[in-house]
Chain A
Amino acid sequence: MYTEHTIETSAERQNRHKAMEAISVLNALKEDFKSPIHSMGYFYDLFEKVYCRHEPLHEGKAKIGTMCIQIPSEIIYALDAVPIRLCNGFYTDDEIGSDLLPQKSCPLVKATVGWFASDNFSDKPDITFSPTTCDQKTKAGAIIESFGHTVIDVGFPRTKESEESRRYWRESVKSFAVKLSKYQGKKLTRSNLERSIKKVGYAQSLYHKLTEFRKNKAVPILGVDMFLVTNAFFFDRIDEWTGAVEKLILELEKRAEDEVHVAGKASPRIVYTGSPPIFPNYKIPIIIEESDAIIVADETCSSNRMFNDMAAVDEWNLYDMIDSVSDKYLKACTCPIFTQNDDRIRRIIQLVRSYKGDGVIYQAFAGCQVYEMEQRSVLAAMEREGIPILYIESDYSPSQHGQLTTRVEAFIESLKNRKRMKK
């Protein structure tokens, strides 16, 4: 029999490696846990479609790349474009980026840069807006631009308490809106912005409904599944996403009635914080949930921080809507790039209290300096509050699996002991 032999191109190889990474995580999510949720199927299929089969989702639409959560998606939707958040969790892309960035850089930034360096997208952003958040993201923008891609910086202040920073950010957002509106050849109006604020707000309200179930004693949904759902919001079509989450909520309502619990009776409840787990880098969340614990809440920018705060408009006129959207992304943000971050600490404590968490797991990417630096203050605060916390550093490489598992398991065991002692 005759078979045609072709040599795999580097893009094909990259796609194959990414597909392998993606499918192994998806399979773990689908098969390693008890009581799978039927309506999670939409999300498994979506990730398979995008990351295994590399099929585009937004053909014919203007795709606006965003480097961080701070670029208001409300304005992008209002101008009839699609936001694509470029935070990347693939080890394959991380390795490509490693050649272009200093050795000790954050794997997320390396992966994003590597993605652009290979120029291999299923939905390639037409233009990218980069808020000047952490040093590495800020500088990455310029590197990506050197590959011939259009990157526009959006100035973001690194203090949020002062009047100046509030004003500065409002001006930044206005100028972003003007640039995008020119790019799109479409005017930002009262009605299109109001509609998109409510549309994004509705998606956020669904997230809040989802998280309510996690307060239950019997938690009907895994933390890793939740990460997948929120992660899909980075790139999915918003109406499809809301439709799928509506179905998921209906199923969870049923499961909550039947008291379906996806973990064990004595499984410790974990609040997850730190560098964002981005598909397929669900390494730590999977280790946690495979070690008989359950993530009931998180404080990360790929999930809670992205959804928690909705725009609060007082006067539904264009001027107030833009300001309220701006404030949402600055004032409510608990990103560690800010000088002081008592807000983040208070949020973590509040999450532990309201979701009845038994302990906190704080994961920082090796090279993610701001999370690494904030570790001490968070640990001290948790100690004051009597909340057990585990700090782990990891990256995208598959190599430290055994060591990480040992540490997580030991922590979870100690939480179980603590629970038993309390009884």
Chain B
Amino acid sequence: MKNKFSLRRRVNNMNLVRFRFWFQIAAFAFIVYGGYIGLDFGNKLPTFACVYNAEGTGGKCYVGMLQHDLKHPIDMFMGYAGYAFLISLAMFAVWFWVLNKGWCGFVCPLGTMQDWLSALRRKTKIRYSEYSWANRGKIKSIKYILLLLLLLLPVMIANSVLGIPKLPNGLSMPFCDICPGRMLIPAFTGNFNQFYIDFSSKTDTVMTTLGMMIVGLFLVGSFVKKRFFCYFCPMAALQYVFSKPALLKLYKDGSKCTRCGDCYRACDMDILEIADDVTSKNLVTEDCTLCLKCVAACPEEGCLEANFAGLTVFESTKEGFILRMAMDQNKETHVH
């Protein structure tokens, strides 16, 4: 018999939206303001803890570190710099394995900002926009291209690759230049110094101008499209490479799936597989942010679940669905 008051049942019946809202605020506070109370989670974090928020940040983003690590002449890289690089990468992976893509859905300050902008849009009753399925498929590769560029450019500054002369030093942190986090995260501590265009060299002018444009796009884009930026995020691409052995997983039991598409409708990243794939067990796909909205929106008993190291943490139940949709009682008095 099911215990009416069991912890498991209470977790499965939880209001995920509210839980996530507060969790994200707490995570945002740790990452953006943690530095003021002496928090430092190191510089291998798999999330956008921005180095440009020097005083406030509670840790540092690994993508920044990665670009720095790669900017070494090849002979140095073959020596100690290479070891340093591998150790950094391993530490990044260890951090990442704890939460898997949950870093995106629950911790990432840029993700949280986008969710706030979505909430604002929702309040104004403006409809969200969607990509067509064809375009949705096409833009998937952009994040890998960005990742490749941010890996290659620093290498090409320190080395001449394929006879191409070394690139100018202005490209040493190419992704940071265009990352909206560089401007927006420090802004939350009252530091607006990152909103600038640097005319000191051609490269700097181009890169900082691009950066300003992308901030604008970020703000407008994520107002109209849920999690607009995440589609293009090179961090997501890098993370996905390490996703398989991670501890937190999103599992699906396809035999219980009716393909009703409720999960797809709830998905901020419009991931079709979550609804249509009835054969895979692991549903952490490349764009998944593990926000678990799909689990909360699934009406089938035990069809979707968040699993941590083999333990079910949160799973879909009929009862939970009905409670979250406020369909558990007749609120109106009988009208005759």
Contact = CB atoms under 8 A, between A and B. Distances in A.
Q: Do A and B bind each other?
A: yes
A136 interface: no
Contact of A331 (B260, B328, B329): B260
B278 interface: yes
Contacts of A204: 327
Contacts of A331: 259-261, 275
A354 B303 CA distance: 13
B321 interface: yes
Nearest to A240: B334
B48 to A, nearest CB: 25
Interface in B243-264: 254-262
Q: Chain B interface mostly helix, strand, loop or mixed?
A: loop
B261 A195 contact: no
A284 B95 CA distance: 61
Interface in B239-290: 254-262, 265-266, 275-276, 278
B258 A205 contact: no
B326 interface: yes
Interface in B300-336: 301, 318, 321-322, 325-332, 334-336
Contacts of B325: 198, 201, 310-313
Contacts of B301: 354
B128 A332 contact: no
Q: Give the most central of A163, A208, A239, A314: most B CB within 10 Å.
A: A314
Contacts of A45: none
A309 B122 CA distance: 25
A313 B325 CA distance: 7
B133 interface: yes
Interface string A335-357: 00000001100110110011000
Nearest to B261: A331
A263 B267 CA distance: 44
B300 to A, nearest CB: 8
A242 interface: yes
A314 B266 contact: yes
Contacts of A198: 325-327, 331
Given A163-B133, A201-B322, A309 B260 contact: yes
A326 B209 CA distance: 44
B297 interface: yes
A323 interface: yes
Interface residues of A, number: 41
B262 A312 contact: yes
Contacts of B293: 314
A308 B122 CA distance: 29
A33 interface: no
Nearest to A160: B259
Contacts of B297: 312, 314
A161 B276 contact: yes
Interface in A117-160: none
A315 B329 CA distance: 20
A243 interface: yes
Interface string A346-370: 1101100110000000000000000
A202 interface: yes
A334 interface: yes
A332 B327 contact: no
Interface string B104-132: 00000000000000000010010110001
B299 interface: yes
Interface string A282-325: 00000000000000000000000000111111110111100110
Interface string B224-249: 00000000000000000000000000
Contacts of B261: 327, 331-332
Nearest to B328: A205
A318 B122 CA distance: 11
A346 B125 contact: no
B299 A310 contact: yes
A30 interface: no
B330 A199 contact: yes
A312 B259 contact: no
A317 B122 contact: yes
A190 B133 CA distance: 28
Contacts of B259: 331-332, 343
Contacts of A205: 322, 327-328
Contacts of B275: 331
Contacts of B322: 201, 205, 208, 310
A328 interface: yes
Interface string A71-86: 0000000000000000
A346 B257 contact: yes
A320 B328 CA distance: 21
Contacts of A314: 265-266, 293, 297
Interface of B: 122, 125, 127-128, 132-133, 254-262, 265-266, 275-276, 278, 293, 297, 299, 301, 318, 321-322, 325-332, 334-336
Given A199-B332, A308-B258, A328-B260, 6 more contacts: A202-B327, A239-B336, A310-B321, A314-B293, A315-B128, A346-B278
10 contacts: A163-B132, A163-B133, A195-B332, A199-B330, A239-B336, A312-B297, A314-B265, A331-B260, A346-B258, A346-B278
